[in-house]
Amino acid sequence: MKKIGFLFDLDGTLVNSQDAVMNSWITMANEAGIPLEALAGHHGVPAEQTLKKVLADREEAEIQKWVRRVTDLEMADTDGVHAVPGALELLAELNDREIPWTIVTSCTTDLAIARTRAGKIPMPANSVTFDQVSRGKPFPEPFILGADRLGLQTDQCWAVEDAPGGVTSAKDAGCTVAGVLTTHTREELPHADHHLEHLNQLLTKAGI
């Protein structure tokens, strides 16, 4: 069997953090005077990249203030964060079978740690977070780095993503992409190579 590895997005893929994300961004947007409709379509994109786009007319220092604010809000709100159905079982099976995997997330390291702890998801030491790349999703660098940390080429890796920006990032990196339909529909992830109604379908789709 050829060598294969898995690169998992975190929010919406391994953990359900929708309520925490929504509450935090609504609070920050109201404080910053950002119309809520301006934030639509940015799920899966790093907070800093989203706010640089939405607040393009503001000073860099102010943008960074709101990046810190929304990150602090998200880190404090973990009560409703839990593992996506099948995530813990899938990761345990990969470990049992010694199939390499890691997390590739748009979260900062601190936020990723908070989210994985809340969801009781193991966070590998070789995980890729936003503060470890120069350009996050939808750019390909996060998945290129993730594959490298597994000791694999990107075409040996399956990326598992729930958001359009993540799918674009993984496809452009050269990964095979499985779109898990937790936060978006099949029609909203047209560039994914495969679609998963449930994480327990992943290994069958990958033929292992």
Q: Report which secondary-structure segment, H or E, holds 68.
A: helix 60-76
Answer yes or no: 9 catalytic: yes
The more confidently predicted of residues 41 and 160 is: 160
pLDDT surpasses 80 at 163 = yes
Q: What is the pLDDT of residue 1?
A: 59
Of the candidates 107, 145, 121, the one whose C-alpha atom is nearest the C-alpha of residue 159 is: 145
- CA 34 to chain centroid, in Å, comes to 24
Specify which residues 99 forms β-bridges with: none
Beta-sheet pairing, 82-83 with 15-16: antiparallel
- Sheet of strand 157-161: strand arrangement: 101-103, 5-8, 157-161, 176-180, 194-196
pLDDT digits (tens, 9 = 90+) for 54-79: 999 999 999 999 999 999 999 998 88
Whether residue 11 lies in the annotated active site: yes
pLDDT digits (tens, 9 = 90+) for 119-159: 999 999 999 999 999 999 999 999 999 999 999 999 999 99
